[in-house]
Amino acid sequence: MKSFFLATVAAATLLATLPAAAQFQKPEDAVKYRKAGMFMMNTHMGRLAAMAQGRVPFDGAAAAASGEALGHLSLLPYLAFIDSNSGAEPSRAKANIWTERAKFDAAAKKLQEEAAKLAVAAKANNPEALKAAFGATAGACKACHDDFRNP
Amino acid sequence: MKSFFLATVAAATLLATLPAAAQFQKPEDAVKYRKAGMFMMNTHMGRLAAMAQGRVPFDGAAAAASGEALGHLSLLPYLAFIDSNSGAEPSRAKANIWTERAKFDAAAKKLQEEAAKLAVAAKANNPEALKAAFGATAGACKACHDDFRNP
């Protein structure tokens, strides 16, 4: 359990050292990349939501797999929010991402921390542990979406 | 290093136990999910290719981050190749994925194994180690694309 968390933190540290704007050949590729990561996270959050809310039976293996995926995926999209949006690829990102960058980065970091905890909790084969960690992660998603994503 | 590799193998084992068809609410969501994962993998392979082929200077931190991302991402798209393609979302997947499933699964496993090795090699801050592991991973990508992806 601990090893995954440490690996997660190490990866986040590495990502934070990269010059973000240099990572994408075209601006629209950055938008596509972050949308891809968000779609994959949404898929796994949807699976966990169904279990956490009792709409489907708790499945320990499925919960663990989706938690693990979220721990990894949460590290990836944020450095793809480079300087601005691209007109070539539609995006719901709000312009205040770039005018309130420190606040955005803190919100992204909060999500990464909650997702790392969720990855651990989801392996416990315990519906209540999953529910608590899922709720905290979903709250971190929503807080950032409320401030930085268009409806 | 070893801890990440073991976590990778554990996650792959977990994913392999899930009933794939039950994981997506709509068939087109499975297509979107695997395309999202492939796009993200392609982004990171592109960055490593530029370094491995000498088109950009070697950057140890960037290599490590992309290697780590690929180790994680390589685990995710394959169980989204459920029963068939969906007409609602374009896909380059060939029909023999479903008629030659064991061969497809072996090709996916090969990619996951090479990507796990790449994740380790990319942390060595060594251009030659990166180049070798990148080449093996790119070969696993290509072998599967040649057999199972339309041009």
Mean pLDDT, range A102-109, rounded to an integer: 97
For residue range A9-44, list pLDDT tens digits in order: 444 444 444 454 457 888 889 999 999 999 999 999
| 0.95 surpassed by pTM | no
Mean pLDDT of chain A, nearest integer: 87
Tell me what ipTM this predicted complex has: 0.85
Percent of chain B clearing pLDDT 70 (strictly above): 83
- Quote the CA–CA distance of B120 and B112 in Å, as a whole number: 13
Between CA B129 and CA B138, with CA B133 as vertex, the angle to 5 degrees is 145
**B4 touching chain A per CB within 8 A:** yes
Please check the confidence at residue B127 and state whether its pLDDT lies above 60: yes
Please check the confidence at residue B11 and state whether its pLDDT lies above 80: no
Mean pLDDT, range A83-100, rounded to an integer: 85
CB nearest A7 (choices: B3, B61, B76): B3
DSSP, res A56: S
Q: Do A69 and B25 touch (CB under 8 A)?
A: no
- List the single range of A51-60, B10-19, B138-147 with lowest mean pLDDT: B10-19
Taking CA–CA distances from A15, the nearest residue in chain B reads B65
For residue range B90-124, list pLDDT tens digits in order: 999 999 999 999 999 999 999 999 999 999 999 99
Chain centroid, CA B56 distance in Å: 23
CB nearest B36 (choices: A6, A40, A46): A40
Mutate to test the interface with B, among A2, A8, A9, A14 (most CBs of B within 10 A): A14
Q: What is the pLDDT of residue A78?
A: 92
Please check the confidence at residue A8 and state whether its pLDDT lies above 50: no
Chain centroid, CA A31 distance in Å: 15
Tokens of B17: 């136990």
Q: Do B23 and A64 touch (CB under 8 A)?
A: no
Please check the confidence at residue A144 and state whether its pLDDT lies above 90: yes
User: Largest alpha-carbon pair distance within chain B?
Assistant: 45
- List the single range of A27-36, A114-123, B12-21 with lowest mean pLDDT: B12-21
**A17 touching chain B per CB within 8 A:** yes
- Quote the CA–CA distance of B110 and B143 in Å, as a whole number: 10
